Amino acid sequence: MISLLEGDIECTHPQKNTGPALVEKRFGKYTLTERLGGGGMAEVFKARLSGPEGFVKELALKLILPHFSSEPEFVKMFIHEATLVARLDHANIVRIHEFDQIDGRHYIAMELVIGRDLRAISARAREIDRPIDVTEALMIGLEACKGLAFAHGELTPGSPLIVHRDISPHNLIISQAGELKITDFGIAKMSSAASITKTGVIKGKVSYMSPEQARGDTLDGRSDLFSLGCVLWEMLSGQRLFSGENDLAVLARLQKCEILPASRFNSQVAPQVDEVLQKLLQRSPQSRFSTASELSSELDKLLVETSSIDRATILVQLYRDLFPGTGSQTDVFQTVQHVEKIEVIDEDQKIEPIGPDGRTEISKVSSDELPPALVEKKSKRKMIWLIVLSLSCITGFAVVVANGWLSKKPDADQQKAVIHDKPVAIEPLAPDNLKLEILPAQAEPETRHPEEEKVVFGRLDL
């Protein structure tokens, strides 16, 4: 599922589209391969960028609807926002690769995230009765804070403050690899500034506005924190925080800002979590956390106090529990509990990265998957080893035969010879006198001395 929500653009699951399939078509240097969704401001396509030597990169291409090009104020603000957002190069923010226009139509080329938005994740959790637990909700909040801290200029001195203005489940995406991505910076501001008479442009987003945003006041980063607090409260309680028959009723409740503890609806929520949420959802910005970094520190402490699970696998496991069997490598995120032995990694093994936790799985690769050069290299290496092994066997056999032959050869200085049935003794030959002298053999005594015999038997007795 490719989830990209840009402003009022809703990108649905490609398999659920019932309309005619998109025929690939060129758009400048891009090839549009699939329509992901659209709305009142723009439409989003899955696109392919091809280059030399077989280079191919897939990305999301957002095309502004043609009639907005005739509104100079909107175009000016769109260009300004796109220029600012392009600087947001952070792991928790959907990256902008390019902004330009082709044939008078403005577009943004951005990172293609394979995953689901938080709205779809929450709906799936309710569908299969697998609620998002406290640890998972805190982890989502922590990762979102990291992205907001970067956007608010807290991490890089001198960077401009970019307020999102539309933090909601629609614009928080969790990828298959367990990464949380914030998308859609600045769209809400452009929607309100453009001369649009269509009603309901921000319908469904009022529930996540801060009170000052609903009043039209000047905003800073604390407005985004309030919106994030709404998202966290709803995940933990399973309820809508601000609801009503229509947007006006929602805005009325929002101005009162009466917040019940999330633990009232979920007994797993600890008191310290309630305290953080209560501070985060204060009506006055001055009473909230002052920065996203401050909120991030508090959420980090809560995670330490409430869970000992490896953080790197929390969102990965959540995604896999809700959408089992997704992705081409369904087992790459398994946690290795014990290592029985360490094996040398051969060239016919592959190491698959496991997303953000850096865990690794080593699996055997068939020879069909290896490059031809590597297959040829492995074949030559095996042949060399076979030759070496064969030579070793031949050499060993030759040594064994030689030792056996030498062991049967008589010792020259101890051998005796019998000539004409008479025993003779052969004396060693001196180098200067090569002469063979045959001496008569002395007869051995037939009887032994009694004492000698006694000693011999004494030795035997011992």
**Nearest to residue 366, comparing CAs of 374, 354, 358?**
374
Q: How far apart are CA 314 and CA 320, in angstroms?
A: 10
Q: How do residues 365-416 score in pLDDT, each as one tens digit?
A: 444 544 455 456 556 667 777 787 778 778 877 776 676 665 555 554 444 4
Token pair, residue 65, equals 């609807």
Please tell me the predicted confidence (pLDDT) of residue 197.
38
Give the C-alpha separation, 46 to 149, whole Å.
Answer: 29
**Six token digits for residue 9:** 């653009």
Check residue 169 and give its pLDDT.
95
How far apart CA 166 and CA 224 sit, in angstroms, is 7
Nearest Cα neighbor of 167 from 131, 213, 121 is 213
What is the rounded CA–CA span in Å between residue 403 and residue 4?
Answer: 80
Give every CB contact of residue 268 below 8 A, 6+ residues apart in sequence.
Answer: 133, 134
Q: Quick check: is 300 catalytic?
A: no
Which of 374, 357, 356 shows the shortest CA–CA distance to 365?
374
Question: What does the pLDDT look like over 5-63, one tens digit per residue?
Answer: 344 444 544 444 444 556 788 999 999 999 988 777 788 999 999 988 889 999 999 88
Among the listed residues 114, 106, 39, the one whose alpha carbon sits nearest the alpha carbon of residue 66: 106
Helix axes 221-237, 118-127, angle to 10 degrees: 10
Question: pLDDT tens for residues 183-219?
Answer: 987 655 655 554 443 443 443 478 999 999 998 899 9
Which residue among 8, 117, 133, 166 is the active-site one?
Answer: 166
**How many C-beta atoms surround the C-beta of residue 239 within 10 A?**
13
